[in-house]
């Protein structure tokens, strides 16, 4: 079996920008994140953050495609 990590970034240089984006979205949905480990975060809150991040990324790509 391979030892792959599904969390590996396709563009490692984007790591810090994605981290800032995560905190921005968490703030927008009313979830408080602390620096470092957030193991106490509920699955519901983690899903709200991730879901809204994906929604915003899709909107951005759609806007870019529409403006070409």
Q: Encode pLDDT of 8-24 as tens digits.
A: 778 888 999 999 999 99
How high is the pLDDT of residue 4? 65
Residue 53: name the closest of 30, 28, 22, 31 by CA: 22
Identify whether the C-beta of residue 8 lies closer than 8 Å to the C-beta of residue 18.
no
CA dist 63 and 15 (Å) reads 23
d(CA 21, CA 14): 10
Structural domain includes residue 52: yes
Domain coverage including residue 22: 12-33+41-66
Q: Is residue 4 part of a domain?
A: no
pLDDT band at 43 (very low <50, low <70, confident <90, very high): very high
46/8: higher pLDDT: 46
Q: Is residue 6 part of a domain?
A: no
The answer to whether residue 1 scores a pLDDT higher than 60 is: no
Residue 56 inside a domain? The answer is yes
Structurally, the chain folds into a number of domains equal to 1
């Amino acid at each position: 079996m391979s030892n792959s990590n599904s969390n590996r970034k396709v563009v490692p240089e984007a790591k810090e920008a994605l981290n800032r984006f995560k905190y921005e979205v968490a703030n927008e949905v009313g979830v408080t994140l602390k620096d470092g480990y957030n193991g106490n975060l509920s699955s519901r809150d983690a899903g709200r953050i991730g879901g809204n991040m994906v929604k915003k990324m899709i909107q951005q790509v759609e806007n870019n495609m529409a403006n070409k």
